[in-house]
Amino acid sequence: MKEKNVKKCYSCNTNMQYAEKVPFRIKGTPGFWKLIVGEWAELGEEMLYLDVYVCPKCGEIRLFADEKAKKSLLKLTPKAFLKNCVACGKAIPIASEKCPYCGREQK
């Protein structure tokens, strides 16, 4: 396993280990329409890459987004689930404890 930034496990406070960058498919056409239009349904899909960290002690898994992934996710987030950062004023997910742009703790 390759080391990235040190992340602490929320459950046992152990240093988590970087596992890998995992691709997730987002957007595109889901379910029934994919059966009808086949491969054409994948035209709108995008790949979102997230870093996976694993706690060697308790097995907790956490996902982290790089800058490109953060921007993609924020575009998909409905306005009702966003708030403005107390420091830089950018739109961030309402449950954020830290701003993904400036790193400031949120209240």
Specify whether 60 is located in the same domain as 81. Answer: no
pLDDT at 5 over 80: no
Domain that holds residue 11: 7-66
Beta-carbon-side half-sphere exposure of residue 24 (alpha carbons within 13 Å): 15
Beta-carbon-side half-sphere exposure of residue 26 (alpha carbons within 13 Å): 15
How far separated are the first and last CA of the chain, in Å rounded?
35
On whether residue 71 sits in a domain, the answer given is no
Specify whether 11 is located in the same domain as 41. Answer: yes
Report CA-CA distances (Å) from 107 to 57, 82, 90, 94: 30, 14, 15, 11
In sequence order, what are the beta bridge partners of 83?
92
Query: pLDDT, tens digit, for every residue of 52-103?
Result: 999 999 999 999 888 888 887 777 767 778 899 999 999 888 888 988 889 8
On whether residue 2 sits in a domain, the answer given is no
pTM over 0.75: no
Query: pLDDT, tens digit, for every residue of 26-61?
Result: 766 666 666 666 666 566 677 888 999 999 999 999
